[in-house]
Chain A
Amino acid sequence: MKERAFITLTNGFKDKLFRLARRLLVSNEEAEDATQEILLKLWRNKSKMAQYKNVEAFAMTMTKNYCFDRLKAKQANNLKIVHSNYKDEQASLQRQVEAKDSLDWVGKIMDDLPEQQRMIVQLRDIEQYDNAEIAKMLELNETAVRVALSRGRKKIREELLKKHNYGVV
Chain B
Amino acid sequence: MELSNIEKLLEKYFEGETTISEERELKVYFTRETVPSHLEKYKNLFQFFSEESTIMATQDLKLNTGRKFRYSWIGIAASVALIAGMFLLKPAPTPSEPVDTFEDPEIALQETKKILNMVSQLMNEGKQELVYLNEFENTTKELIK
Is the pair B55, A3 in contact by a Cβ cutoff of 8 Å?
no
A103 and B55 contact, Cβ closer than 8 Å, known pairs A14-B61, A40-B63, A160-B41: no
**1/0 per residue A128-163: CB within 8 Å of B?**
101000000000000000110110011011001100
Question: Is B44 located at the chain interface by the 8 A CB criterion?
Answer: yes
Is the pair A7, B20 in contact by a Cβ cutoff of 8 Å?
no
Question: Is B120 located at the chain interface by the 8 A CB criterion?
Answer: no
Do most interface residues of chain B lie in helix, strand or loop, or is the interface mixed? Answer: helix
- Choose, from A15-23, A47-55, A67-75, the stretch at the interface: A15-23
Is the pair B48, A128 in contact by a Cβ cutoff of 8 Å?
no
Please tell me the number of chain B residues within 8 Å of chain A, measured between CB atoms.
Answer: 28
Is the pair A7, B45 in contact by a Cβ cutoff of 8 Å?
no
Q: How far is the CB of B56 from chain A (nearest CB, A)?
A: 5
Residue of B nearest to A154 (CB): B14
Residues of B within 8 A of A (CB): 13-17, 20, 23-24, 40-42, 44-45, 47-49, 51-53, 55-59, 61-63, 65
Residues of A within 8 A of B (CB): 3, 6-7, 10, 14-15, 17-19, 22, 31-32, 35-36, 39-40, 43, 102-103, 105-107, 110, 124-128, 130, 146-147, 149-150, 153-154, 156-157, 160-161, 164
